[in-house]
Amino acid sequence: MAAAAAAAPLPRAPVSSPATRAVLWPARSNLRTAAAPPLGALGWRRRQHFPVVSMTPGSAQSTPAALAVDPKVEALLDSVKWDVKGLAVAIAQNVDTGAILMQGFANREALAATISTRKATFYSRSRSSLWTKGETSMNFINVHDIFLDCDRDSIIYLGTPDGPTCHTGAETCYYSSVYDALQGSKSNQERQVATTLYSLEDTISKRKEEIVTEGSGKPSWTKKLLLDNQLLCSKIREEAGELIQTLLENEDQSRTASEMADLLYHAMVLLSVKDVKMEEVLEVLRKRFSQSGVEEKASRKKS
Amino acid sequence: MAAAAAAAPLPRAPVSSPATRAVLWPARSNLRTAAAPPLGALGWRRRQHFPVVSMTPGSAQSTPAALAVDPKVEALLDSVKWDVKGLAVAIAQNVDTGAILMQGFANREALAATISTRKATFYSRSRSSLWTKGETSMNFINVHDIFLDCDRDSIIYLGTPDGPTCHTGAETCYYSSVYDALQGSKSNQERQVATTLYSLEDTISKRKEEIVTEGSGKPSWTKKLLLDNQLLCSKIREEAGELIQTLLENEDQSRTASEMADLLYHAMVLLSVKDVKMEEVLEVLRKRFSQSGVEEKASRKKS
């Protein structure tokens, strides 16, 4: 985790001032230690300091002299299959929600800077310079891990955004559904790319808004749950009981998946009543792993 | 949903035979209907047939004559900012897990083919031809929705894969962690890019394997739960109760997030005991939305 970097307010770092950037963002990385495998599982381990990268903005193709990095970083950068312009596709993804936030391109220096600073950094083809997402908006993407694909020409920056990623203020740049457009719908930032869990969360959230805007009328099941805490709580208890039953009575796997879906849905309605996002829940789980582990925490509770 | 297409076994469709492909994969899309908003929430609605695309493999830059598509599709293809080679980045993402499966490039014809066939289709720069992921391996990526970014030069194919996406047999092409590599670890397909929920699932799964390979020894909390169904079930009941309590006793939001994290973790240990994947649970939720809605299903259960 880049928690320290994420928590500290970061002054603007102009792309034209690599020296400033280097001072502002001390390099860090992870240590894999045999003694702490549970921490390794989510990829956030103890930090190790790498030498700070000296960057030369304005050139996509860097020369060896333009970089002064750890030899291991240098070897890694050598292993990337940069295209003829010295670029590779770089995709920023939210580690907690899985949302693809944006896609840009990285050159050697941009990847080196991201490795070192843990702030998602790209190469702007239009401005011919490095740019760190957030350097203007302060909505940095705090990078927890970086993955290369099997061809080593595509990069994922897996991290947590400080705020909306898109310049429009949307959480992600992807809010134009092709099939919606073909049906004549205009782009709608409320219809952002979302995986199943977050689409469900959006739907529950819409039902909640409808209660306010349209009245409860003949309410859907979700609305009934949103309006009746006792009903909601009894359903959560019931669904937890049914999930347990699939184990104790050795019911088949499809029953288990179905009962878990029920429990998850009803619990997410409770989250909506409490104005808590699934992203916050996953952040809790991630932080437990990066500290003493969910197992240890849960163990302390069992007595 | 492209459920019908996903379910039907698809014969190989060579890229050199667009006519064959057109026959094999009838075009379809979604209809947004005011009458069925709950179904729209996840983006899977009733299908509408678009005219089949006639493709000319071998040219990244297509001429108008090479395409015979619906005028709305044509207009949409015109709105994409293709680069000087006629390409845009195309990212395939698993709609249920959020995993980024692979990244390639699409030209006009590849996007048209994906819109029409609902199979993720790319333009191979090395072979100078269209290729549909899965045409050799049969591991198609069944596309549920397609998103363009704010600049309209980057595409997400959001779908469900029929099998592993990577040619190596890995679920995703992204299994090389940069920070692991800098610590001297070799690429490891068990250490694929994964968001928090699936990293937690992986960790629980590893604990389960360790019980077999290393014996229970001095077991971690997860191992204790995995070995003791009664303990596991009592913890799930307890955590459901504590989540409910945060609502009934008006506890603060951080308590709700924390108790939901506890419930989710313990319920996921039960899934592991039953060999059920979170992906299957999310598939259940997605399918309920695309049929009669989770609300209606849940409503039927409440009596």
CB contact under 8 A, B267 and A260: yes
pTM of the predicted protein model: 0.77
The shortest C-alpha distance from B56 to chain A (Å) reads 22
Token pair for A34 = 């045999």
Pairwise CB contact (< 8 Å): A220 & B295: yes
What is the mean pLDDT of the segment spanning B71-83?
A: 95
Per residue in A13-47, pLDDT (tens digit) is 333 333 333 323 333 333 222 222 233 333 333 33
Question: Does A267 sit within 8 Å of B263, measured CB to CB?
Answer: yes
R_g (Cα) of chain B, nearest Å: 23
**Cα–Cα distance for residue pair A5/A2, rounded to 1 Å:** 5
Q: How many CB pairs under 8 A join A and B?
A: 360
What lies within 8 Å, CB to CB, of A275 at 6+ separation is B253
Is it the case that residue A68 has pLDDT exceeding 70? no
Question: Residues of A with CB below 8 A from B106's CB?
Answer: none
Chain B environment of A154 (Cβ under 8 Å): 103, 173-174
The rounded distance, in Å, linking the Cα atoms of A73 and B235 is 45
CB contact under 8 A, A148 and B174: yes
Closest among B58, B100, B105 to B84, alpha carbons compared: B105
Contact list in A for residue B180 (CB cut-off 8 A) is 30, 32, 43
What is the per-residue pLDDT for B1? 32
In 3D, which of A43, A36, A64 has the Cα closest to residue A1? A43
pLDDT of B24 reads 30
Is A295 close to B91, i.e. CB distance below 8 A?
A: no
- Is A263's CB within 8 Å of B258's CB? no
Residue A129, beta-bridge partner list? A124
Q: Which residues of A touch B100 (CB under 8 A)?
A: 91, 93, 100, 156
**DSSP, res A89:** E
DSSP states of B226-279: HH-HHHHHHHHHHHHHHHHHHHHTT--HHHHHHHHHHHHHHHHHHHHHTT--HH
> What would the mean pLDDT of A188-199 be, rounded to a whole number?
81
Give A104→chain B minimum CA distance, Å.
Answer: 9
Amino acid in the structure at residue B283:
E
What is the share, in percent, of chain B residues with pLDDT greater than 90? 62
Instruction: Give the pLDDT score at B290.
Output: 67
User: Could you tell me the pLDDT band of residue B184, with boundaries at 50, 70 and 90?
Assistant: confident
pLDDT mean over A55-82:
69
* Percentage with pLDDT > 70 across chain B: 70
The pLDDT tens digits for B88-134 are: 999 999 999 999 999 999 999 999 999 999 999 999 999 999 999 99
Looking at beta carbons, which residues of chain A come within 8 Å of B95? 195-196
Average pLDDT of span B204-231: 88
Which pLDDT score is estimated for B39? 31
Cross-chain Cβ contact A32/B183 below 8 Å: yes
Chain A positions touching B301 (Cβ under 8 A) are: 262
Contact A247 B237 (CB under 8 A): no
Whether residue A234 has pLDDT greater than 80: yes
Write down the pLDDT at residue B191.
74
User: Quick one: which H or E segment has residue B74?
Assistant: helix B71-79
- Interface predicted TM-score (ipTM) of this complex, two decimals: 0.76
Residue A216 has pLDDT above 90, yes or no: no
Cα distance from B267 to chain A (closest Cα, Å)? 8
Question: Are A246 and B274 an interchain contact pair (Cβ–Cβ within 8 Å)?
Answer: yes
- Average pLDDT of chain A? 78
The minimum CA-CA distance between B253 and chain A, rounded to whole Å, is: 6
Q: What are phi and psi of A84, to 5 degrees?
A: -60, -25
Q: Check CB contact under 8 Å for A197 and B241.
A: no
CB contact under 8 A, A170 and B193: no
Residue of A nearest to B39 (CA): A203
pLDDT band at B218 (very low <50, low <70, confident <90, very high): confident
What per-residue confidence (pLDDT) applies to A289?
Answer: 74
Which pLDDT belongs to residue B70?
87
CA distance B9 to chain A (A): 23
Q: Is the pLDDT of residue B138 over 90?
A: yes
Using CB atoms, which residue from B115, B196, B293 is nearest to A286? Answer: B196
The 10s digit of each residue's pLDDT in A259-292 is 999 999 999 999 999 999 999 999 999 998 764 4
* Cβ pair A149:B182 closer than 8 A: no
For testing the chain B interface, which of A108, A285, A301, A303 should be mutated: the one with the most B CBs within 10 Å?
A285
Is B66 exposed, middle or buried (CB count within 10 Å of its CB: 0-12, 13-18, 19+)? middle
Of A152, A244, A273, the CB nearest to B233: A244
Q: Do A274 and B246 touch (CB under 8 A)?
A: yes
User: Smallest CA–CA separation between A17 and chain B, in Å?
Assistant: 26
DSSP E strands in B125-173: the ranges are 129-132, 141-149, 154-161
From A170, A174, A196, residue closest to B42, measured CB to CB:
A196
Subunit contact B183:A263, Cβ cutoff 8 A: no
* B1 vs A184 pLDDT, higher one: A184
What is the model's pLDDT at position A212?
82
Residue B216: C-alpha distances to residues A56, A82, A131, B92, B219 (Å): 54, 47, 50, 40, 5
Q: In angstroms, what separates the C-alpha of B289 from chain A's closest C-alpha?
A: 8
Which residues from B are below 8 Å from A295, CB to CB? 207, 220-222
More confident residue, B58 or A135: A135
Confidence of residue B190 (pLDDT cuts 50, 70, 90): low
Least Cα separation, residue B131 to chain A (angstroms): 17
Show Cβ contacts of residue A228 under 8 Å, excluding neighbours closer than 6 positions. Answer: none
Contacts of A166 in chain B (CB under 8 A): 150
pLDDT in tens, A143-155: 999 999 999 999 9
B264 is written with which tokens?
Answer: 């989710």
- What pLDDT was estimated at residue B265? 97
Average pLDDT over residues A69-79: 91
In chain B, residues with a C-beta closer than 8 Å to the C-beta of A183 are: 29-32, 48
Question: Which of the pair, B212 or B301, is modelled with greater confidence?
Answer: B212
Percent pLDDT > 70 in chain A is 70
Nearest C-alpha of chain A: how many angstroms from B65? Answer: 21
Share of chain A above pLDDT 90, in %: 62
